[in-house]
Amino acid sequence: MNALSLFFDRIANWKVLLLIIAIYISFPAYFLKDAETRINILAGKTLGPIDLTMGFTPERTLQMVAEYGDEARAYYATVESTIDVVYPITYAFLFGVILTLVYRKKRYKPFPYVNILPFVALIFDYLENITIVTMLKSYPDQSIVVASLCEFFKLGKWLTFAITIVLIIYGLLKMVPKMKKA
């Protein structure tokens, strides 16, 4: 934990931030957008990915898996095993660098470790992806337990992501008065 936090403290600067932003933008702008479009085309209807749904609804998740159809399920499983393995690393690094830049001078607890919070979201995201791939590959066998785990991991991902965003906004707002003085 400390090593990862210190790693971000060493690498975080504006050049690294700009590089990671450029990499990050390619995912929602191209890779993930293209994947969602293709899933919907293969499914023959607009379903979108399970990853982006909100609320604890295992039954809806199982319904989506059924509605995708064979081709969309196969493609979606491939996306979860490739693009959606790299994307969490990208956003975890992006938010880790941002949190480091915002909270670097805050040495009191827990701020020295706030920059590793995005990696908690990454872990939840990977666990969510594992359950999604399991459901997609095991269809027509459906498990409410796996769907419930998926929803739990998805909830953990979104909550951690929301806390990260709130911390970034809070930190930036706290920086404004200092910037006005300078």
Would residue 181 count as lying in a domain?
no
Find, among 37, 42, 115, 128, the residue nearest to 87 by Cα.
Answer: 128
> Concatenated DSSP letters for 38-107?
HHHHHHTS----GGG--S--HHHHHHHHHHHHHHHHHHHHHHHHTHHHHHHHHHHHHHHHHHHHHHTT--
Check pLDDT > 70 for residue 89. yes
Q: Please report the pLDDT score of residue 154 as a whole number.
A: 97
Does the pLDDT at position 175 exceed 70? yes
Is 65 domain-assigned?
yes
Residue 179 in domain: no
Per-residue confidence (pLDDT) for residue 106, from 0 to 100: 72
Rounded CA-CA distance 159/157 in Å is 6
Of residues 124 and 5, more confidently modeled = 124
Q: What pLDDT digit, counting tens, does each position of 145-168 carry?
A: 999 999 999 999 999 999 999 999
182 CB-contact burial (10 Å; exposed 0-12 / middle 13-18 / buried 19+): exposed
Domain membership flag for residue 132: yes
Considering the domain boundaries, does residue 178 fall inside one?
no
Q: What pTM did the predictor assign?
A: 0.92
pLDDT score of 107: 63
Residue 180: inside a domain: no
pLDDT for position 182: 63
- 93-141 per-position pLDDT tens digit: 999 999 999 988 776 666 778 999 999 999 999 999 999 999 999 999 9
Domain region containing 43: 2-171
pLDDT digits (tens, 9 = 90+) for 26-76: 999 999 999 999 999 999 999 999 999 988 899 999 999 999 999 999 999
Within-domain flag for 176: no
Total count of domains within the chain: 1
User: How confident is the model at residue 176, as a pLDDT?
Assistant: 80
Does some domain include residue 130? yes
CB-count exposure of residue 39 (10 Å: 0-12, 13-18, 19+)? buried
